A and B are shown apart, each in its own frame.
Chain A
């Protein structure tokens, strides 16, 4: 038969696990029954306390998309392809309106200008990891200001848009209106779009650049 000391030690280690021995002891010991009530009340507060409030994040389409996928299964997944395709289209349309961004140059944007653009998006870009950034602008895109960067890769200028407000479930390649690119999911932070006008750049190179940029991003909120 368990004594009070053993009962209380076991309860404090695993309050949610009550063995038959423990139940028998609590049924026959008034003090330990009261002790159990106090521990249970404390445990309720503890369960609440460990769930730290998280910073408010921009609303994300994927939360809706994910619940839809759960609800309608495979049909839902096919439906998800539609917004991805139009996202690529919107990115291409945006690029076409910024011809200056495509200049091949050896001049890097100033760290202050880069910082200003990325700070607004609650991120920091480690420029040396990302490659030389020759253009940085905060651009309106689908109702949000998003960082639009140009990284000078050895294959030529590559444009990167950081799309924290968008959703991408899987990596997606596209080839539209003379632009080739990839939309790459960033777990927990939307997606990035990487584009080039260099038709000789293969998918592996695009993927390499996208991963390089993605790994250079640090979130500050």
Chain B
């Protein structure tokens, strides 16, 4: 009986590990994209995601609900990225050089407008780029972005608005009818 219970417990644990592994695999592409937008450097983003997934794997028990996994993993990625700066001061980079070096990643296949838009997103200040990517790529609500970034809902809305206004301007859209911040 005791042996049977032990076996059941081990089977249950293996199934839980398998579910967690599958969950990480399914989320990994978007987590890597998020890290790429955050770090603007492919190898750094790969490192950050790898470290974050390792940390997540070790701390799997801390994840109470699977539906919270995306937010939980993003928090680990953001912390891991911040740690990179604590460990070593990364050199500042010229944006034009950076965009040129990431050319293949920014390329939009047949659509040159897509490449232009990706370059423009890269050029946004991090404080605007990050909430925008969380909203558009990760599908986060304003409240969830606020929670992730430690901002009020009003502050998130302002940053999202400014991000799109700058982006539209960088892409040559007609922004003459766009309002100022005080419309929010």
A: residues with CB less than 8 A from B are: 4-6, 8-10, 12-15, 17, 31, 35, 38-39, 42-43, 45-55, 62-63, 66, 69-70, 74, 77, 80, 169-171, 185, 187-189, 214-215, 217-221
Contacts and interface: CB of A to CB of B under 8 A. Distances in A.
B114 A188 contact: no
Interface of B: 14-15, 17-18, 21-22, 24-26, 28-29, 32-33, 36-37, 42-43, 46-47, 49-50, 53-54, 56-57, 104-108, 113-114, 117-118, 121, 133, 135-137, 142, 157-158, 160-161, 164-165, 167-168, 171, 173-174, 177-184
A27 to B, nearest CB: 18
B160 A13 contact: yes
22 contacts: A4-B179, A5-B183, A6-B179, A6-B183, A8-B179, A13-B157, A13-B184, A17-B142, A35-B177, A42-B171, A42-B173, A46-B167, A52-B105, A54-B29, A69-B18, A80-B18, A169-B17, A170-B21, A187-B50, A187-B53, A187-B56, A218-B43
A6 B157 CA distance: 12
Closest 5 CB pairs of A and B: A9-B183, A187-B53, A170-B17, A5-B183, A13-B161
B46 A219 contact: yes
A45 B53 contact: no
Given A35-B177, A63-B25, A69-B18, A14 B49 contact: no
Given A9-B181, A31-B177, 11 more contacts: A6-B179, A12-B161, A12-B179, A49-B108, A49-B118, A51-B33, A52-B33, A52-B105, A170-B18, A185-B57, A218-B43
